[in-house]
């Protein structure tokens, strides 16, 4: 729960600095006042979400120590380095956020101001990368020897750069960028949906087109990296792959099953494409895919991850398809279609779906690792504290998160209502 909430704010913490920096870059190159206004207005969102992300980040770090002592006992010995590095990356981001947000008029040369946005992007990117390496380690732990519970021969770099790291970090960070861009596009689309006599229409059209360009580029990258990531899971975590694809028996010419209902005996009533899964995994229908029956049932992940995977994949393709259709309409000189109410609705809904997609990806990663917290090494049942106070954490923090989830958009809306765009 804590991480599911934190990831919601963290994804914007990674994505918004890039959007702001790109907007200012275009403003400088094209001498465009609308893009400059965009960058300046978005900085407020960046600072507020940075602050909320820092609050939930503080909660996460303390919750790890207090609620998961057995887990932290291993992490602190084997893979504490990325946590340490993440703190420095966050420091860098915080310092330059302060510089960037409050020095718009301090530089005669605007390029110098734009340069100060780069460490924010790097800091946010590095923070996400380092933390995701820990999550990757939890899926494919390595870099230590365990003899009767005594950990030795620790190599923090090996633990950090485990087989899951390249794909998980790439796929998740690209998804954060795509989602942020889509949410910005959805905000612009919302104005078109209302279809009132709109102020600053040029600004909003530029915001929509710019956000959709970024969203399209990163959505394409997300789809490609998603394919690579799935193949990596098939290789490194075959039980997770078998569960998310609903493969019960080890076989070649394995079918791809879309949708359906998961049962302990396989997926029922799904759309089956013969041989497709073997082809996707290894480029040939002869490739053997390991089925779930090859594993001890007590180590099977949650069967529901099939839904999460399908949902995430469908959302990924929608995120790619919607901007493609939008730009196809523009290319065919059908501006009326591109900026229609229907298109605005589609973009707005995709913006919401993109956030759901990130959450589904997170749930797929976590539930797909069950019953382990550290795969094959530490069972989730043994990772938690047995203190009765844990119940208080489980009760109080959801309430706090709900409050923050209400207060944050309220503050953003109040700010932008107070500081309206002038035509």
Residues found near other proteins in the complex (CB under 8 A)? 47-48, 50-52, 54-55, 57-59, 61-63, 65-70, 72-73, 76-77, 80-81, 83-85, 87-88, 90-92, 94-99, 101-103, 105-108, 112, 119, 152, 154-157, 385, 387, 389-390, 392-393, 396-397, 400, 403-404, 407-408, 410-411, 414-415
Nearer of residues 102 and 317 to other proteins, judged by Cβ: 102
For residue 236, cis peptide bond before it (omega within 30 degrees of 0): no
CB of 94 to other proteins, least distance (A): 4
CA pair distance 124, 21, nearest whole angstrom: 13
Tokens linked to 330: 């523009």
Residue 348 vs 401, nearer CB to other proteins:
401
Which CB, 131 or 242, lies closer to other proteins? 131
CA gap 134, 83 in Å, rounded: 8
Q: Report whether 185 contacts 211 (CB < 8 A).
A: yes
* Shortest CB 355 distance to other proteins, Å: 20
Q: How far is the CB of 151 from other proteins (least distance, A)?
A: 9
Is 51 or 224 the residue whose CB approaches other proteins more closely? Answer: 51
Would you say 4 or 65 has its CB closer to other proteins? 65
**Between 106 and 268, CB nearer to other proteins:** 106
Of the pair 68, 358, the CB lying nearest other proteins is at: 68
Residue 363 CB, nearest approach to other proteins (Å): 24
Rounded to a whole number of angstroms, the minimum distance from the CB of residue 74 to other proteins is: 9
Task: Extract long-range pairs of 56-62: CB within 8 Å, 24+ residues apart.
Answer: 56/2, 56/5, 56/6, 56/9, 56/10, 56/401, 56/404, 57/6, 57/10, 57/90, 59/2, 59/6, 59/397, 59/400, 60/2, 60/3, 60/6
DSSP one-letter string for 24-42: HHHHHHHT-HHHHHHHHHH
- Number of alpha helices (DSSP H) and beta strands (DSSP E) in the chain: 16, 8
Q: Smallest distance from the beta carbon of 408 to other proteins, in angstroms?
A: 7
Q: What's the start-to-end Cα distance of the chain, in Å?
A: 43
- Least distance CB 317 / other proteins (angstroms): 36
CB-based contact 18:177 (threshold 8 Å): yes
How large is the angle between the packed helices 33-67 and 2-30, nearest 10 degrees? 160
């Amino acid at each position: 729960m804590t991480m599911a909430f934190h990831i919601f704010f963290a994804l914007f913490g990674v994505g918004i600095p890039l959007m702001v920096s790109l907007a200012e870059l275009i403003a400088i190159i094209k001498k465009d006042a609308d893009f400059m206004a965009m960058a300046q207005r978005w900085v407020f969102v960046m600072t507020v979400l940075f602050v909320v992300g820092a609050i939930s980040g503080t909660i996460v770090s303390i919750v790890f120590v207090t609620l998961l002592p057995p887990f932290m006992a291993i992490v602190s010995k084997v893979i504490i380095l990325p946590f340490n590095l993440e703190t420095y990356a966050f420091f860098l981001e915080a310092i330059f956020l302060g510089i960037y947000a409050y020095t718009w008029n301090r530089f005669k040369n605007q390029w110098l101001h734009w340069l100060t946005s780069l460490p924010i992007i790097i800091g946010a990117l590095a923070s996400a990368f380092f933390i995701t390496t820990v999550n990757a380690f939890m899926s494919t732990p390595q870099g230590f020897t365990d003899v009767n519970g005594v950990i030795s021969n620790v190599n923090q770099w090996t633990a950090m750069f485990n087989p899951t790291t390249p794909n998980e970090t790439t796929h998740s960070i690209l998804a954060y960028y795509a989602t942020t861009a889509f949410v910005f596009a959805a905000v612009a689309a919302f104005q078109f949906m209302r279809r009132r006599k709109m102020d600053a229409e040029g600004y909003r059209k530029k915001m929509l087109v710019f956000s959709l360009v970024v969203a399209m580029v990163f959505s394409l990258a997300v789809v490609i990296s998603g394919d690579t990531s799935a193949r990596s899971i098939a290789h490194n975590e075959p039980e997770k792959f078998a569960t998310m694809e609903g493969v019960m028996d080890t076989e070649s010419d394995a079918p791809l099953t879309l949708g359906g209902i998961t049962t302990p005996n396989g997926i029922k009533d799904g759309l089956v494409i013969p041989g497709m899964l073997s082809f996707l995994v290894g480029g040939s229908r002869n490739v053997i895919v390991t089925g779930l029956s090859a594993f001890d049932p007590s180590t099977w992940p949650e069967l529901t991850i099939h839904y999460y995977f399908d949902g995430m994949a469908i959302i990924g393709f929608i995120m790619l398809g919607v901007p493609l259709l939008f730009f196809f309409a523009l290319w065919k000189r059908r501006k009326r279609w591109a900026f229609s109410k229907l298109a605005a609705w589609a973009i707005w809904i995709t913006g919401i779906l993109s956030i759901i997609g990130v959450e589904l990806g997170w749930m797929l990663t976590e539930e797909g690792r069950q019953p382990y917290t550290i795969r094959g090494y530490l069972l989730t049942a043994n990772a938690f504290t047995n203190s009765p106070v844990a119940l208080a954490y489980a009760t109080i923090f959801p309430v706090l998160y709900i409050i923050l989830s209400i207060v944050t958009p309220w503050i953003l809306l109040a700010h932008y209502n107070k500081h309206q765009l002038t035509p």
